[in-house]
């Protein structure tokens, strides 16, 4: 079970509102990158036993992620989501698109946090507020793990909708990642409008109707 040690250390420094961020969808060959942030106020406690089930989205199954998505929305004081589509990714690269999605997620919040925590090895560039990045934060920090669930569930839902438009690729199964099934269908049908044309496996396949 993840605890609130990191968050409480920040609150003990006098900060009142923490937003924690993570993203989903850096690696896929198709679809958007989605960032999410969740907001904790000072004094936040585990009001629901289900909050104790929150963990890195990658180790949870889809059913549990969907269940916790609702729990997070009900128990955190704010949730924000930011999305950058494949065209933006192709234009500015996935690294910059991930940061842009995070800024969009922060911009979707009703209250501005005075401290942010984020997963990964880099801080958000040109962000003027206080921030701390934590490598593997989604597996170590409670609130970042919660953000990872929001981001993952949101993106998976989007990819299932794209599957309805482009069923030949199997987006409902692999969510755009470069699995054997996806690569086979990419070679067979060519890229579709949501593929990332700046990514090698897509770039190397000619466009078909």
| pLDDT value at residue 208 | 45
Give a yes or no: residue 181 inside a domain. no
Q: What is the mean pLDDT of residues 112-116?
A: 95
Give a yes or no: residue 201 inside a domain. no
Give a yes or no: residue 69 inside a domain. yes
Flag whether pLDDT at 146 surpasses 60: yes
User: Structure tokens of 22?
Assistant: 């993570």
User: Structure tokens of 124?
Assistant: 């958000």
If phi > 0 it is left, if psi is from -120 to 50 it is alpha, else beta; for residue 134 that is beta
User: Structure tokens of 127?
Assistant: 């962000």
Give a yes or no: residue 156 inside a domain. yes
What does pLDDT average to over the chain?
95
Give a yes or no: residue 107 inside a domain. yes
Give a yes or no: residue 195 inside a domain. no
Rounded CA-CA distance 161/165 in Å is 7
Percent of the chain's residues with pLDDT above 70? 98
Give a yes or no: residue 203 inside a domain. no
| pLDDT value at residue 206 | 59
Residue 9's CATH number? 3.30.420.10
Q: How far is CA 175 from CA 114, 132, 208, in A?
A: 34, 30, 21
Rounded CA-CA distance 173/156 in Å is 10
Beta bridge partners of 81: 36
Task: Give the pLDDT confidence of 153-187 residue by residue, as tens digits.
Answer: 999 999 999 999 999 999 999 999 999 999 999 99
The total of structural domains in the chain comes to 1
Flag whether pLDDT at 209 surpasses 70: no
Which range marks the domain in which residue 132 is found?
A: 5-167
């Amino acid at each position: 079970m993840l605890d609130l040690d990191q968050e409480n250390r920040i609150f003990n420094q006098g900060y009142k509102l923490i937003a924690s961020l993570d993203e989903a969808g850096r690696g896929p060959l198709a679809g958007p990158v989605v960032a999410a942030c969740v907001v904790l106020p000072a004094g936040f406690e585990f009001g629901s036993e289900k909050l104790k089930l929150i963990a890195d989205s990658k180790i949870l199954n889809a059913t549990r992620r969907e269940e916790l998505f609702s729990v997070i929305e009900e128990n955190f004081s704010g949730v924000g989501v930011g999305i950058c589509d494949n065209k933006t990714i192709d234009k500015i690269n996935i690294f910059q698109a991930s940061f842009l999605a995070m800024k969009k997620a922060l911009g979707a919040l009703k209250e501005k946090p005075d401290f942010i925590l984020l997963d990964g090895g880099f801080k958000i560039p040109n962000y003027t507020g206080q921030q701390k990045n934590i490598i593997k934060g989604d597996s170590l920090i409670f609130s970042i793990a919660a953000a990872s669930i929001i981001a993952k569930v949101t993106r998976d839902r989007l990819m299932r909708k794209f599957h309805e438009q482009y069923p030949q690729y199997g987006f409902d199964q692999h969510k755009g990642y470069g699995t054997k099934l996806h690569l086979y269908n990419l070679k067979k049908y060519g890229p579709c409008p949501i593929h990332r044309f700046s990514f090698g496996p897509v770039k190397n396949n000619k466009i078909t109707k």
